[in-house]
């Protein structure tokens, strides 16, 4: 990197259509000596539906909206104009916010190499999957040619070492939270019901049937608020009806990312009761970090990365254990001081490890190593 010249960085990410995630870009751009461009699609189609680009945090960097091919196909999508854009920008570092076995990563890495840029990928992968050709070939080529890897958790990092990646590797979560936006309510709310929340996809692996069954046995007046949608909605509503608690389970539907802090502040507990499946394991559990930042006590299954994220700042139970989840919920219902202690501990854990600023700082350290060639 030339003396006193900014390090030109491009980050390519479909995840950045979500407005709250863009706060990390502002924090990266605020670091000294960084000239940042983000390339995003106009929308991304996934299990939650069509996520149209939100422009929530766009200061200090350039946001380029580029066309995307095979939108919604995790493995096959790519950006057809990428080579042209990188030739115009002439970045020194290209951050590919994709798993290494996706065509988008292979395509972007080739474009970065043609532009003379260093490169890195990001991965949440925490299962040692073996992919058929051509994805196995794409993965091997990426692992052999990328300059750096970032894994979201220690478990993910170990997967890539096991699969043969020998290059530099850092463990940094993909996104954090802005603690000024995700913050506790000014005053403790006064509610007639104990409000239990979950946010995300309504799918079998999230274990929401366990939550409904456990709540049905609570010795308290309670409500469940489910923010999100998915194929399990009807089954979950049916289960609540069978247990005669249908009026106590609210299906909120999808909530804009910018409205999530207010939703978290309306909770007394946040639960992520995930269960491991043969082809899926909880990779992080972002809602836990957002909830902790908002001063909400969290409960999680000991599944995948959940215990790593919660640490000592929340309650955990064996995955699939309805009685264990019930005991955690009842403890929070019965002990207001415990709720206060966990709310404080969760907020402190986020400030120490999971803010957008801290994640941006660590990510920029990787950029600078790549840009200067110095560890």
Query: Fold match between 7-176+355-372 and 194-353?
Result: yes
Q: Which two tokens stand for residue 224?
A: 């469940």
- Tokens 């560890």, located at residue: 375
Band of pLDDT at residue 311, cut at 50, 70 and 90: very high
Over residues 346-356, mean pLDDT: 95
Task: Give the span between the Cα atoms of 82 and 64, in whole angstroms.
Answer: 11
Backbone phi, then psi, for 316, in 5-degree steps?
-130, 160
Cβ(17)–Cβ(44) under 8 Å?
A: yes
Q: Calculate the CA 366 to chain-centre distance.
A: 20
The share of the chain scoring above pLDDT 90, in percent, equals: 87
**CATH code at 7-176+355-372:** 3.40.50.2000
pLDDT at 1: 44
Over residues 338-346, mean pLDDT: 97
Q: What pLDDT digit, counting tens, does each position of 109-136 carry?
A: 999 999 999 999 999 999 888 999 999 9
Closest listed residue to residue 363, CA positions, set 1, 24, 6: 24
Over residues 335-357, mean pLDDT: 96
Is the model's pLDDT at 281 over the cut of 60? yes
In 225-318, alpha helices (H): 233-242, 260-265, 286-293, 306-310
Backbone phi, then psi, for 249, in 5-degree steps?
-120, 115
Over residues 296-311, mean pLDDT: 96
Q: What pLDDT digit, counting tens, does each position of 353-366 carry?
A: 999 999 999 999 99
**Pick among 3.30.379.10, 3.30.930.10, 3.90.700.10, 3.40.50.2000: CATH of 194-353:** 3.40.50.2000
Over residues 152-172, mean pLDDT: 95
Domain boundaries along the sequence of the chain: 7-176+355-372, 194-353
Closest listed residue to residue 204, CA positions, set 311, 279, 260, 94: 279
Band of pLDDT at residue 4, cut at 50, 70 and 90: confident
Band of pLDDT at residue 375, cut at 50, 70 and 90: low
Cβ(123)–Cβ(156) under 8 Å?
A: yes
Burial of 313-329, coded b for 16+ CB within 10 Å and e otherwise, reads: bbbbbebebbebbbebb
What 8-state DSSP symbol labels residue 3?
T
Over residues 7-29, mean pLDDT: 95
The CA-based diameter of the chain, rounded to the nearest angstrom, is 69
Cβ(91)–Cβ(115) under 8 Å?
A: yes
How much is the mean pLDDT over the chain? 94
Cβ(218)–Cβ(330) under 8 Å?
A: yes
The pTM score is: 0.82
Is the model's pLDDT at 2 over the cut of 80? no
Strand partners, 44: 51
- Tokens 């980050």, located at residue: 11
Band of pLDDT at residue 83, cut at 50, 70 and 90: very high
């Amino acid at each position: 990197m030339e003396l006193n010249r900014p390090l030109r960085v491009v980050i390519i990410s479909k995840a950045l259509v979500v407005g709250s995630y863009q706060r990390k870009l502002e924090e990266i751009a605020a670091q000294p000596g960084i000239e940042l461009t983000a390339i995003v699609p106009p929308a991304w189609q996934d299990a939650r539906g069509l996520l149209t680009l939100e422009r929530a945090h766009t200061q200090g960097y350039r946001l380029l909206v580029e066309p995307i091919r095979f939108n919604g196909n995790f493995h096959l999508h790519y950006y057809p104009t990428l080579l042209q854009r990188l030739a115009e920008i002439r970045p020194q570092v290209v951050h590919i916010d994709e798993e290494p076995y996706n065509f988008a990563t292979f395509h972007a890495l080739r474009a970065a190499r043609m532009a003379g840029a260093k490169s890195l990928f990001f991965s949440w992968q925490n299962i040692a999957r073996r992919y058929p050709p051509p994805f196995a070939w794409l993965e091997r080529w990426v692992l052999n040619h990328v300059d750096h890897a970032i894994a979201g958790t220690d478990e993910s990092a170990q997967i890539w070492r096991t699969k043969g990646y020998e290059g530099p590797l850092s463990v940094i979560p993909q996104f954090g939270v802005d603690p000024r936006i995700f913050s506790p309510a000014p005053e403790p709310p006064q509610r007639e019901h104990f409000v239990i929340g979950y946010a995300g996809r309504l799918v079998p692996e999230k274990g929401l049937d366990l939550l409904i069954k456990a709540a049905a046995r609570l010795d308290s007046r309670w409500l469940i608020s489910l923010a999100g949608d998915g194929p399990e909605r009807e089954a979950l509503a049916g289960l609540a009806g069978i247990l005669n608690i249908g009026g106590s389970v609210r299906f909120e539907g999808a909530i804009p990312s910018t409205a999530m802090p207010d939703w978290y502040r309306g909770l007394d507990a946040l639960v992520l009761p995930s269960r491991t499946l043969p082809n899926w394991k909880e990779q992080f559990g972002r809602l836990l970090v957002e909830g902790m930042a908002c001063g909400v006590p969290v409960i999680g299954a000991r599944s995948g990365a959940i215990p790593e994220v919660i640490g000592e700042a929340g309650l955990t139970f064996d995955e699939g254990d309805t009685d264990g989840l019930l005991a955690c919920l009842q403890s929070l219902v019965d002990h207001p001081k415990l709720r206060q202690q966990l709310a404080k501990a969760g907020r402190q854990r986020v400030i120490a490890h999971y803010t957008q600023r801290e994640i941006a700082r660590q990510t920029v350290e990787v950029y600078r190593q790549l840009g200067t060639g110095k560890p």
